[in-house]
Amino acid sequence: MAQKGVLSENEAMSLFKGILAGCGAIIDGGVIHRDLKPSNIMLSGSIPKIIDFGFCEVILGGGIVRAFNVGSPAYMAPEALLKTLYSEKSDSWSLGIILYEMLHGKTPDGGMDTKEFLERVRNNPNLIKDSIKPGLSNNTVQLLEKSLCYKTEDRMSVSGMKYLTDVFMINVSKNNQSNFSSSSINNHPLTSKANGHLTPMNPTPHNLPQRNVPLKNQ
């Protein structure tokens, strides 16, 4: 991820709302992505598009998939990285990391070994909460805390994340506080757009190779 600045809360949540809409549609279709990260989210104008379904898995009835270890460590849920178990809530964790990164300019692991970071989260339930910068709304803080719970049973679902994001946007609209514009998003170093073409959000470096295989007929 680019080191220059971060998105404002309004900008990040506006963009995140679109990302959640895409993820919700995928899950409603009985599929989990398993490799959500900034480089797999591209912008068409101001609309985020999720790409690279090379690791996706069909999962019906809210079940759990045991599969080969796939994904990008910095964005992988604990059960995915440590036990090769995947579910909808594995994608919830990845989304929480993405939102955290948009708001802080870095992933919450602070560059430490991912497994060491997950062990710290397991031993200290307040680790994520204590690392969140001050000044964010209660809705956004809840999103970060509840999407980044170590235990899957405590972690918020994608539909729950969509609800909190919608509440935030409604409150922004009511209070006339939104400064969001597509131009500010497109010109931001996290989500730049060049020459009218889709440009990936800049990812935080991680240990696994990048995979960016756009879907056909988008």
User: Active site includes 35?
Assistant: yes
Tokens of 95: 């989304």
Beta-carbon count within 10 A of 137 CB:
16
Contact criterion met (CB below 8 Å) for 137 and 145: no
Distances (CA, A) of 21 to 17, 165, 169: 6, 10, 14
| Helix%, strand%, coil% for the chain, nearest 5 | 45, 10, 45
As a whole number of Å, the end-to-end CA separation of the chain is 25
3-state secondary structure of 69: coil
Q: How far from 110 is each of 86, 91, 142, 201, CA to CA, in Å?
A: 24, 20, 20, 19
Pairing of strands 57-58, 47-50: unpaired
Beta-strand (E) ranges in the chain?
Answer: 31-32, 41-44, 47-50, 57-58, 65-66, 85-86
- Catalytic one of 35, 52, 91, 109: 35
Residues annotated catalytic, as ranges: 35
